[in-house]
């Protein structure tokens, strides 16, 4: 178990990793969809999948809390592109903020999530007592924290991952190499077409 906060009685503080990876050095898998194509998600799509407002997204990008790792904005006319991992992190940040975790601890948790390999993320559970965020990678560690007696809440990263994956499968993406928009069909669209054919 690793603390991703400023320390606590349960575990020692996590050594802060270095600065967030530069967007150009992100692994190709970061921006790959299920078909293996390198894709990114524009701001409105990332907002819809993470359950946040565009104002939050913009503020978090400008303050370096969650920056788009596929493509930052380079002034007017360019669009930020977020990777799948970015959107998962956005959703986790929203949940941590909603439960009252301090921005300082959230920044530490974000750096930690970014330092982990993409395949590791679905196995993680983030636990917090509202002051400190802890990473648990086994059920025993979760139980140990819960036995501490204080109020604890948890975020199963794998559940967030699957939620984001399901939402993004119905939203448009953009191919990184060509800029082509990949139009994904929403289940409601197919239902409407069937109704129209039946009518």
Q: List, in order, residues 6 or more apart from 144 with CB less than 8 Å away.
A: 1, 10
Token pair in block for residue 165: 């994956």
Quote the percentage of the chain above a pLDDT of 70: 70
Segment 78-91, tens digit of pLDDT:
789 999 999 999 99
pLDDT at position 112 is 86
Q: What is the mean pLDDT of residues 3-12?
A: 43
User: Is 60 exceeded by the pLDDT of residue 77?
Assistant: yes
Whole-number Cα distances in Å, 159 to 51, 58, 77, 91, 156 = 15, 25, 35, 11, 5
Q: How far apart are CA 181 and CA 40, in angstroms?
A: 10
- Which comes out higher in pLDDT, residue 139 or 158? 158
pLDDT band at 140 (very low <50, low <70, confident <90, very high): confident
pLDDT at position 157 is 93
Consecutive H or E run containing 189: helix 187-198
Mean pLDDT for all residues in the chain = 77
User: Is 70 exceeded by the pLDDT of residue 96?
Assistant: yes
């Amino acid at each position: 178990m690793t603390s991703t906060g400023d320390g606590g009685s349960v575990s020692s503080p996590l050594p802060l990793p270095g600065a967030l990876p530069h967007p150009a050095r992100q692994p190709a898998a970061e921006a790959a969809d299920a078909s293996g194509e390198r894709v990114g998600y524009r701001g409105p799509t990332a907002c819809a999948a993470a359950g946040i407002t565009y104002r939050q997204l913009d503020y978090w990008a400008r303050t370096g809390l969650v920056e788009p790792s596929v493509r930052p904005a380079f002034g007017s006319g360019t669009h930020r592109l977020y990777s799948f991992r970015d959107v998962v992190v956005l959703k986790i940040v929203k949940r941590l903020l909603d439960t009252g975790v301090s921005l300082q601890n959230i920044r530490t948790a974000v750096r930690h999530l970014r330092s982990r390999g993409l395949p590791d993320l679905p196995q993680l559970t983030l636990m917090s007592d509202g002051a400190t965020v802890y990473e648990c990678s086994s059920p025993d560690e979760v139980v140990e924290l819960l036995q501490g007696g204080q109020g604890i809440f948890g975020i199963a990263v794998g559940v967030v991952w699957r939620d984001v994956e399901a939402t993004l499968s119905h939203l448009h993406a953009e191919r990184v190499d060509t800029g082509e928009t990949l139009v994904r069909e929403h289940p409601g669209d197919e239902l409407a077409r069937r109704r129209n054919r039946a009518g």
